[in-house]
């Protein structure tokens, strides 16, 4: 059933010679901003006569390569602007399928490596020690070390990381007991003179894809959250993280009931500095999360449920290539909402799903601006060296979820679908798959169910625009929020004036959760998509609901976008402050796009000036994508 997937985002050859294990040594030099190291890849030959190992690199300097301990012939190809350079290592002749070889590489990453952000002390919470973190998804692991940088190739690894003695290293692996060694040395990487160091050791026994390789180094401490969980952060933020993420063990237990046993040993969280470009990153054993989740009321902890869900959907069951990314994210959104439904009731699942549909509509009509845009396909075409970052959006998340929810309803609801879901996880665990693999498994499992004959797979998977079927959700949990949005919409359309709807008062949203407030703002944005609100209306809303001063990042983002679209320049100082405080792309990109597309000349000017002022504090991936949004740079597929 599982044929070889077309891989357009990697120049490696795991179908011929696969890296199945890597032993890594890294030296972290905060003075030069260089990660230097040695990696020994264990290579398993997949076909008789395979004569070479092909690896992905991007601005990585290679100083020597050995095969089975002897100097090897190798060639580093011309650099592609998105995909980097292909490194080809000659293997011994006469190898047969199943044979193994060891390939050792001495390397150094560039100070400008796209996966790495080096933070000076002033950009950390403590303001004393420097900090480093990596972000390898989608194709940035190749900027750290030569590897087969495709989700379709999986490997286990060990690592030894040397850092300044006052700092701690963490990785997407389990720390080896007693693995912190003051003054220890690495076997293959020369020690730098005059630098007091310590070495941390790690082991990841479950094979992972390269995008899940992760490293963080900083002044880090931990607080326990549960039997297998802790939160790590700088001392100044760790207590807030321990409070915010206190429900982690409950999420883990609910996920295991739905998807099967947890296989990774530890589930820790690392609360990162504000420049981290994502809400969370599902690095095995150590989820990275943004401090924008620190709302003080645990209202944004659903992001942790999402990253926990990735422990099964993504980390165990993985898209074979980035074109099939929806298999990671659509299923993870589904499992996230299932977890929330188990813990807080089915209406929570339905409420989150309804909000996701609004997000999907906005992505198609506003972000991409057309039902015909090729990146609105669930399975986009990434041929020709397209950078997967350029195709990134909520499409794989919400269009993918919509398909899965539709299939669930079609086969008889949760009672029929949840056993299938668990069987799907068990069947594909450890083996990357494509959309057609999923379809075949689904159709075989439900072959006696006549309803599945009506599924228009071609449209769902390969056609642009909104899904062919609109799912209906129970919106009772969001009814008050949606009704209030309709009242404000109607008042503005009818020209009632700046006073807003009749009887509007602060009591309208008294006692609401932040999720309800965001639902109100998102619904109002949907209703006013074609004709934005008048700024007098947004000012009146602020008078009643005090929205300008909210600290919840989801509320701030939704409110600021609504006001920018209305031409309400009163929020610009708050917008600029928000864009300076954090680097999460979920907030950066929509807000910068809204500023740049505003009918206000002041807002347009603020877009470029704010970005130029702050771009060096953003992660390289985030800075690259915002520059594209502002048309200050071209996408890497052009």
**Catalytic residue numbers, as ranges:** 307, 397
C-alpha angle with apex 134: 177 to 292, nearest 5 degrees? 100
Is 263 annotated to bind a ligand? Reply is no
8-state DSSP, 634: -
Is 147 annotated to bind a ligand? Reply is no
Is 418 annotated to bind a ligand? Reply is no
Is 181 annotated to bind a ligand? Reply is no
* Closest among 282, 404, 285, 407 to 333, alpha carbons compared: 404
Is 310 annotated to bind a ligand? Reply is yes
Residue with tokens 């009887």: 503
What is the chain's Cα-based Rg?
Answer: 25
Is 191 annotated to bind a ligand? Reply is no
**CA distances (Å), origin 369, targets 299, 365, 526:** 31, 4, 14
* Closest among 609, 526, 517 to 556, alpha carbons compared: 517
Is 52 annotated to bind a ligand? Reply is no
* DSSP string across 364-417: IIIIS--TT-GGGSSS---TTT--GGGG-SSIIIIIHHHHHHHHHHHTTSHHHH
Sign of the CA dihedral with 249 first, then 250, 253, and 255 last? negative
Is 604 annotated to bind a ligand? Reply is no
Is 324 annotated to bind a ligand? Reply is no
Residues contacting 93, CB < 8 A, separation 6+: 51
C-alpha angle with apex 92: 89 to 97, nearest 5 degrees? 100
Name residue 147's beta-bridge partners.
Answer: 56
Is 281 annotated to bind a ligand? Reply is yes
Is 541 annotated to bind a ligand? Reply is no
Is 329 annotated to bind a ligand? Reply is yes
Query: How long is the chain?
Result: 638
Is 279 annotated to bind a ligand? Reply is yes
* Closest among 44, 40, 70 to 147, alpha carbons compared: 40
Q: At 523, phi and psi to the nearest 5?
A: -65, -40
Q: How far apart are the first and last CA of the chain?
A: 35
Residues in the annotated binding site for a peptide? 135-137, 277-282, 584-586
Binding region: 135-137, 277-282, 306, 310, 329, 584-586
Binding site as annotated, residues for Zn(2+): 306, 310, 329
């Amino acid at each position: 059933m599982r044929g070889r997937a077309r891989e357009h985002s990697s120049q490696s050859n795991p179908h011929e010679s696969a890296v199945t294990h890597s032993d890594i040594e890294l030296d972290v030099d905060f003075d030069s901003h260089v990660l230097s190291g040695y990696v020994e890849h264990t290579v398993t030959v997949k076909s008789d006569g395979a004569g070479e190992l092909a690896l992905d690199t991007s601005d990585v300097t290679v100083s020597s390569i050995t095969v089975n301990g002897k100097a090897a012939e190798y060639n580093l190809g011309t650099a592609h602007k998105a995909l980097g350079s292909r490194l080809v290592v000659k293997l011994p002749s006469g190898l047969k399928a199943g044979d193994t070889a060891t390939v050792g590489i001495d390397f150094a990453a560039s100070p400008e490596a796209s996966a790495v952000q080096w933070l000076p002390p002033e950009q950390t919470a403590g303001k004393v020690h420097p900090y480093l973190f990596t972000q390898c998804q989608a194709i940035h692991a190749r900027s750290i070390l030569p590897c087969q940088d495709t989700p379709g190739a999986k490997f286990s690894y060990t690592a030894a990381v040397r850092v300044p003695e006052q700092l701690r290293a963490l990785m997407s692996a389990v720390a080896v007991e007693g693995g912190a060694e003051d003054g220890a040395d690495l076997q293959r990487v020369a020690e730098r003179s005059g630098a007091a160091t310590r070495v941390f050791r790690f082991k990841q026994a479950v094979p992972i894809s390269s995008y899940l390789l992760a490293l963080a180094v900083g002044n880090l401490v931990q607080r326990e959250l549960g039997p297998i969980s802790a939160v790590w952060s700088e001392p100044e933020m760790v207590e807030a993280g321990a409070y915010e993420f206190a429900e982690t063990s409950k999420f883990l237990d609910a996920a295991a009931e739905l998807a099967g046993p947890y296989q990774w040993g530890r589930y820790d969280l690392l609360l990162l500095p504000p420049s981290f470009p994502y809400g969370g990153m599902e690095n095995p054993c150590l989820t990275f999360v943004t401090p924008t989740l620190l709302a003080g009321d645990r209202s944004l902890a659903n992001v942790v449920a999402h990253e926990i869900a990735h422990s099964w959907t993504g980390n165990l069951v993985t898209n074979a290539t980035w074109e099939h990314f929806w298999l990671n994210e659509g299923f993870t959104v589904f499992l996230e909402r299932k977890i929330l439904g188990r813990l807080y009731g089915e209406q929570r699942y339905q409420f989150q799903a309804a909000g996701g549909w609004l997000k999907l509509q906005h992505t198609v009509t506003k972000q991409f601006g057309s039902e015909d845009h090729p990146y609105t396909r669930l399975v986009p075409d990434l041929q020709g060296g397209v950078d997967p970052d350029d195709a990134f959006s909520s499409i794989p998340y919400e269009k993918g979820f919509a398909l899965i929810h539709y299939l669930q309803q079609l086969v008889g609801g949760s009672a029929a679908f949840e056993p299938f879901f668990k069987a799907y996880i068990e069947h594909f665990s450890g083996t990357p798959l494509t959309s057609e693999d999923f379809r075949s498994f689904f159709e075989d499992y439900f072959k006696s169910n006549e309803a599945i004959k009506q599924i228009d797979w071609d449209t769902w998977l390969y056609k642009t625009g909104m899904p062919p079927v609109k799912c209906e959700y129970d919106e009772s949990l969001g009814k008050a929020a949606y009704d209030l949005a309709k009242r404000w919409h109607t008042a503005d359309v009818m020209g009632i004036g700046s006073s807003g709807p009749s009887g509007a008062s602060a009591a309208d949203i008294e006692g609401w959760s932040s999720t309800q407030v965001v639902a109100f703002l998102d619904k109002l944005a949907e209703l006013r998509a074609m004709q934005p609100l008048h700024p007098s209306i947004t000012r009146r809303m602020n008078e009643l609901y005090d929205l300008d001063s909210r600290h919840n990042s989801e509320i701030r983002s939704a409110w600021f976008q609504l006001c920018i679209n209305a031409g309400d320049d009163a929020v610009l100082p708050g917008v600029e402050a928000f864009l300076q405080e954090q680097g999460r792309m979920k907030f950066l990109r929509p807000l910068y796009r809204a500023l740049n597309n505003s009918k206000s000349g002041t807002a347009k000017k603020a877009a470029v000036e704010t970005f130029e002022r702050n771009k060096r504090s953003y992660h390289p991936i985030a800075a690259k994508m915002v520059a594209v949004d502002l048309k200050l740079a071209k996408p890497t597929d052009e």
